[in-house]
Amino acid sequence: MPLIFITGGVRSGKSHFAEKAAVTHYQTEFTQAQRLIYIASGVALDREMEKRILRHQVDRQAQDIEWLTIEAPYDIADTLHQLTDGDVVLWDCVTTWLTNAFYEGFDMGTPCVEQPGCLEEKLDILKKAIETLLEKRVTFFIVSNELFDEPPYSSEEVELYRQMLGGIHQWFVSIADGAYEINYGVVKKWK
C-alpha cells in the first residue's frame, strides 16, 4: 500500500494538494480503485471550525467527483479497519485527531491527557491499525500540520502535544512511500 504523508503550516495549501493527489490517483487507477474516501477528524466546536469544515466540503464538491466522507474524530482505528483493497483514502488531519484524543473524556470529568497511559494507548492503537492497513491494497494520504517552527511553550500540555505530534510525524515518514511539506502553496518533496 502506498502511504503518502503531507504536512505544512496552517492554511498552507496542504489539504488542497492532498485532495488533488488523491483524486488524480483515484482517476488514474480507476480500473482498480474502488472508493475515494475522505476521513474527517474535525469537530465543529466553534464558528471558525464550522467554517473550515464547510470550506473543505465545498472544495471537495467543486472537484466534480464523488467522495465518501467518514467522520472519525476519535476512533480512527475502527475506520481504518473498514477500508478495503482498492480504496483511495485521504485522512485530514492528524493534528485535529490528536487534539481530540487529548481531550476525549473531558465531558465526563477527566480528559485523556490527564489519564495515565491513555494517550500512549491511543497512539499504539493508531499505529497497529496503520500497520494492518499496510497489508491491504489501499492508497493512504495523511495530512497533518507542521507546528515545530515555534519556540518552546511554557505550557507542559502544549509541549507534550508537540512532542507526541513530532513522534507520530517521524513514524509516519519512516513508513511512508512519499513525504511532502507545503508552505505558502510551495510543495517540497522530502521523500
What residue segments make up the domains of the chain, in order of their start?
19-142+152-175
Q: What is the pLDDT of residues 89-127, one digit of tens each?
A: 999 999 999 999 999 988 888 999 999 999 999 999 999
Q: What is the pLDDT of residues 162-178, one digit of tens each?
A: 999 999 999 999 999 99
Distance between CA atoms of residues 22 and 18, nearest Å = 6
> What is the sign, positive or negative, of the torsion defined by CA atoms of 56, 61, 67, 69?
positive
Q: Has residue 49 got a pLDDT over 70?
A: no
Distance between CA atoms of residues 148 and 145, nearest Å = 9
Q: Has residue 53 got a pLDDT over 70?
A: no
Grid cell of 92 as nine digits: 485530514
This prediction has a pTM of 0.87
Distance between CA atoms of residues 147 and 166, nearest Å = 9
The architecture (CATH level 2) of 19-142+152-175 comes to 3-Layer(aba) Sandwich (3.40)
Grid cell of 83 as nine digits: 477500508
Strands 186-189 and 178-183: antiparallel
Q: What is the pLDDT of residue 4?
A: 97
Q: What is the pLDDT of residue 107?
A: 81
